[in-house]
């Protein structure tokens, strides 16, 4: 929330400072002409020092400790006239008259205020203070760096931007000139009518109007093209950066936030350079033109108009604070929608549609209230022209900051391994692993966990639910990094293997088969560029999917629908198995796949998998019947391997495996 107390203090400080400064400035001007040249110079210096001390005192009294930029401004503003007058007298002689020395002249005061403000701002922008308020300084510095980065990223569109700036300047100059000729026409009509002057004024009026429209149209078109091209580029880059992140990142960051960065923030970021510089440049040209015209008419009126500027700056401050709150609340509302859409079946089966609709409405209302507050402030700010643009620029830069945050994020699970041997045996060893999920760091899932998977053998992981079976698979896929211990593949650390190679050699079929919209053929060959139809069909046969596929109207070219929704769960599962088999992986992991397969499919798939004597097969199963033939059965409990052996050995031992079987058997037969 904006600190309204601080804002009121700043307004008081400004009003008091202007009052004190102007009082001293005018008081010192009385009797100026009666002094000699030296007397006047001495008076100028005394007044300068007095004003400087008075302004420092007022600022200390109202604002507390002073920032360096304010001290610089006060010093330059108070001393400028005295320094300039002394310099002129020294360099050009004592008799030279100059405006700087006239103390009670408002123009001299305005000139000094303007010059010192410009100098202080320039200093602040180019050489930021080393001992200013750390956080504020850092955020300003960050905004500048971000703006420069966005500007740099516009390099490929520089021709479009340049063209747009040329047309922008043309339009601004033309728009500014039209009132001048309109005034001329009115003057001619109101006084003595002279046809040649009248016609020339009308001609130029028309010419500038046409120039203005043409310039504005071309400027708008070129800017939009540049923004669109930039936004596309950034979206692709951001998407690429996101897909490289580790799985833990997606668990920690909400989907709504990610989509909001991809859709809204990239668009806002695209606006940063063109639209803000567009408005800034146009307003700058117009402001300079209009202020010079106004100064010619009346400097007093000009001063009055410019007095609103500090008020606008303060309003902008409030607006900026609200802006960020609105962005966050929009992301929360989007999150509610995506959660419901992705879990619509659960929502429907628990009949929570109304509750979810209310939740969404509540979040929208929060956004609405924040937006209303922000827009009220914006209405005030917009009334006051020029300063608005700086604020908007910073807002867009804020959005760019969030995009860069993801673009620059280094995945915490590195993918820099380079090993890609031609031959892989598929010998896996989990050595003393300790692991807990970052989101539940207080719960240790695996503790000093060790396990060996031998090439050409089938191992089965069994155990009660939630004991860490799927976690072992996730670690083998390098979705997470263990906190302690190491996983070796053919005696080499898993992370030293090349990322693509590893995922081609290790294939996983999970409990929930995930398909993407597209044809069956595309889904089986997912991620492979060099996969023939024969290979796809062979894999589908081994997964017991070929028969049902060829009976579909379009065979392998049948669309599966979003998430594979046009196929049954068993069909989806068999396609997912074919997708794993077509890679001819050295290590195949089946994570509880049997729950969605009928017994015929299950038998056929198992027969097909048993045909490959060189493959390491890891099966996670709840239905213990399906893993009785495994070379080794591993019972996991309390984050450790509790028992290990063949079915016969473990049954004979009458330990955890035996008890687990008994328990499952009792559960299955309990009505």
Ligand X SMILES: Nc1ncnc2c1ncn2[C@@H]1O[C@H](COP(=O)(O)OP(=O)(O)OP(=O)(O)O)[C@@H](O)[C@H]1O
Shortest Cβ distance from residue 664 to ligand X (Å)? 12
Interactions with ligand X, residue window 161-220 (CB under 6 A) = none
Interactions with ligand X, residue window 52-71 (CB under 6 A) = none
**Position among 36, 195, 196, 465 found at the interface with ligand X (CB under 6 A):** 465
Shortest Cβ distance from residue 638 to ligand X (Å)? 11
- Considering the complex, state which of residue 126 and residue 439 has its C-beta at the smaller distance from ligand X: 439
442 near ligand X, rule: CB under 6 A: no
- Parallel/antiparallel/unpaired status of strands 446-453 and 428-435: antiparallel
- Number of residues located near ligand X, criterion CB under 6 A: 13
**Position among 126, 195, 349, 439 found at the interface with ligand X (CB under 6 A):** 439
Site pattern 101..120 for ligand X (x: CB under 6 A): --------------------
> Distance of CA 282 to CAs 117, 183, 394, 513, 566, Å?
22, 22, 18, 56, 55
- Give the largest Cα separation in the chain, rounded: 121
- Considering the complex, state which of residue 459 and residue 536 has its C-beta at the smaller distance from ligand X: 459
- Considering the complex, state which of residue 219 and residue 469 has its C-beta at the smaller distance from ligand X: 469
Contact in structure between 633 and 460 (CB atoms under 8 Å) = yes
Contacts of 113 (CB under 8 A, 6+ apart): 77
Shortest Cβ distance from residue 494 to ligand X (Å)? 18
Structure tokens that stand for 30 in this block: 């009385």
Distance CA 274, CA 270 (A): 8
Please report where in the chains the tokens 């072992």 appear, as a residue: 472
- Considering the complex, state which of residue 14 and residue 472 has its C-beta at the smaller distance from ligand X: 472
- Considering the complex, state which of residue 439 and residue 669 has its C-beta at the smaller distance from ligand X: 439
Distance CA 421, CA 289 (A): 71
- Considering the complex, state which of residue 312 and residue 471 has its C-beta at the smaller distance from ligand X: 471
Interactions with ligand X, residue window 466-485 (CB under 6 A) = 466-471
b/e per residue 404-416 (b: at least 16 CB within 10 A): bebbeeeeebeee
Site pattern 362..391 for ligand X (x: CB under 6 A): ------------------------------
Site pattern 250..269 for ligand X (x: CB under 6 A): -x------------------
Distance CA 610, CA 624 (A): 17
Distance CA 537, CA 530 (A): 14
The region of 143-151, 365-373, 459-467, 531-539 touching ligand X under the rule CB under 6 A is: 459-467
- Stated as kind and residue range, the H or E segment containing 434 is strand 428-435
- Considering the complex, state which of residue 456 and residue 464 has its C-beta at the smaller distance from ligand X: 464
Contact in structure between 74 and 56 (CB atoms under 8 Å) = yes
- Considering the complex, state which of residue 463 and residue 513 has its C-beta at the smaller distance from ligand X: 463
The region of 305-313, 370-378, 465-473, 567-575 touching ligand X under the rule CB under 6 A is: 465-473
- Parallel/antiparallel/unpaired status of strands 428-435 and 484-489: antiparallel
- Provide Rg for the chain, Cα atoms: 37
The region of 25-33, 386-394, 435-443, 600-608 touching ligand X under the rule CB under 6 A is: 435-443
Distance CA 48, CA 78 (A): 5
- Considering the complex, state which of residue 175 and residue 591 has its C-beta at the smaller distance from ligand X: 591
Residue 242 CA, distance from chain mean position: 11
The region of 450-458, 462-470, 542-550, 575-583 touching ligand X under the rule CB under 6 A is: 462-470
- Considering the complex, state which of residue 131 and residue 441 has its C-beta at the smaller distance from ligand X: 441
Shortest Cβ distance from residue 430 to ligand X (Å)? 13
Structure tokens that stand for 184 in this block: 């001329």
Q: What is the dihedral of CA 67, 69, 71, 76, to 10 degrees?
A: -170
Shortest Cβ distance from residue 444 to ligand X (Å)? 10
- Considering the complex, state which of residue 400 and residue 451 has its C-beta at the smaller distance from ligand X: 451
Interactions with ligand X, residue window 529-588 (CB under 6 A) = none
Contacts of 633 (CB under 8 A, 6+ apart): 459, 460, 462, 627, 643, 644, 645, 646, 647, 650, 657
Q: In the 8-state DSSP scheme, what is residue 624?
A: G
Shortest Cβ distance from residue 543 to ligand X (Å)? 22
- Considering the complex, state which of residue 310 and residue 464 has its C-beta at the smaller distance from ligand X: 464
Shortest Cβ distance from residue 624 to ligand X (Å)? 13
89 near ligand X, rule: CB under 6 A: no
Distance CA 108, CA 26 (A): 11
**Position among 24, 331, 445, 641 found at the interface with ligand X (CB under 6 A):** 445
437 near ligand X, rule: CB under 6 A: yes
Shortest Cβ distance from residue 438 to ligand X (Å)? 8
Contact in structure between 445 and 437 (CB atoms under 8 Å) = yes
Interface residues with ligand X (CB under 6 A) are 251, 437, 439-440, 445, 463, 465-471
């Amino acid at each position: 929330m904006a600190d309204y107390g601080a804002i009121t203090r700043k307004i008081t400080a400004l009003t008091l400072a202007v009052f004190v400064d102007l009082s001293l400035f005018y008081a010192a001007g009385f009797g100026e002409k009666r002094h000699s040249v030296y007397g006047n110079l001495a008076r100028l210096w005394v007044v300068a020092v007095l004003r400087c001390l008075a302004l420092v005192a007022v600022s200390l009294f109202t604002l507390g400790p002073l920032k360096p930029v304010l001290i610089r401004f006060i010093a330059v503003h108070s001393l400028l006239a005295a320094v300039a007058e002394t310099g002129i007298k020294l360099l050009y002689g004592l008799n030279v008259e100059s405006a700087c020395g006239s103390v009670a002249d408002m123009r001299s005061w305005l000139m000094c205020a303007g010059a010192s403000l410009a100098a202080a701002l320039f200093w602040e922008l180019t050489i930021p203070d080393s001992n200013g308020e750390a956080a504020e300084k850092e955020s300003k510095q960050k905004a500048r760096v971000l703006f420069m980065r966005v500007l740099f990223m516009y390099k490929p569109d520089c021709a479009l931007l340049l063209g747009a700036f040329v047309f922008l300047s043309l339009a601004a100059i033309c728009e500014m000139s039209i009132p001048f000729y309109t005034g001329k026409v009115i003057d001619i009509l109101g006084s003595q009518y002279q046809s040649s002057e009248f016609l020339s004024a009308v001609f130029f009026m028309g010419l500038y109007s046409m120039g203005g429209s043409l310039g504005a149209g071309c400027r708008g078109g070129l800017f939009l093209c540049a923004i669109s091209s930039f936004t596309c580029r950034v979206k692709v880059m951001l998407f690429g950066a996101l897909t490289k992140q580790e799985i833990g990142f997606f668990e920690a960051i909400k989907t709504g936030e990610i989509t909001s960065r991809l859709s809204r923030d990239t668009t806002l970021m695209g606006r940063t350079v063109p639209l803000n510089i567009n408005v800034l440049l146009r307003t700058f040209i117009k402001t300079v033109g209009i202020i010079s015209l106004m100064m010619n008419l009346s400097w007093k009126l000009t001063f009055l108009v410019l007095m609103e500027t500090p008020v606008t700056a303060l309003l902008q401050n409030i607006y900026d604070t609200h802006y960020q709150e609105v962005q966050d609340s929009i992301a929360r509302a989007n999150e509610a929608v995506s959660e419901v859409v992705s879990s619509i079946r659960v929502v429907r089966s628990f009949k929570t549609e109304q509750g979810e609709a209310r939740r969404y409405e509540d979040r929208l209302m929060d956004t609405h209230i924040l937006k209303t507050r922000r827009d009220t402030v914006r209405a005030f700010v917009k009334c006051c022209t020029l300063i608005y643009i700086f604020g908007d620029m910073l807002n867009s830069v804020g959005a760019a900051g969030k995009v860069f945050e993801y673009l620059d994020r280094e995945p915490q699970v590195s993918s820099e391994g380079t090993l890609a041997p031609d031959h892989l045996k598929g010998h896996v060893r989990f050595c003393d692993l300790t692991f807990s999920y970052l989101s539940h760091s207080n719960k240790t899932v695996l503790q000093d966990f060790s396990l060996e998977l031998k090439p050409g053998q089938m191992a089965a992981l069994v155990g009660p639910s939630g004991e860490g079976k799927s976690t072992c698979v996730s670690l083998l896929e390098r979705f997470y990094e263990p906190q302690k211990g190491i996983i070796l593949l053919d005696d080499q650390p898993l992370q030293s293997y090349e990322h693509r190679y590893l995922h081609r050699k290790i294939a996983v079929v999970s409990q929930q088969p995930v398909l993407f919209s597209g044809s069956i053929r595309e889904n089986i060959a997912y991620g492979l560029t060099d996969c023939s139809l024969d290979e796809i069909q062979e894999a589908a046969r081994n997964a017991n999917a070929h028969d049902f596929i060829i009976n579909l109207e379009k065979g392998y070219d049948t669309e599966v629908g979003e998430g594979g929704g046009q196929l049954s769960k068993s069909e989806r599962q068999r396609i997912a198995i074919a997708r794993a088999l077509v890679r001819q992986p050295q290590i195949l992991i089946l994570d509880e796949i049997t729950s969605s397969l009928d017994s015929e499919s299950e038998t056929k798939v198992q027969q097909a998998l048993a045909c490959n004597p060189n493959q390491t097969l890891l099966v996670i199963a709840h239905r213990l019947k399906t893993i009785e033939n495994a070379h080794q059965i591993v019972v996991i409990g309390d984050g450790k391997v509790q028992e290990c052996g063949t079915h016969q050995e473990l049954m004979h031992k009458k330990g955890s495996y035996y008890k687990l079987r008994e328990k499952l058997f009792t559960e299955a037969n309990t009505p």
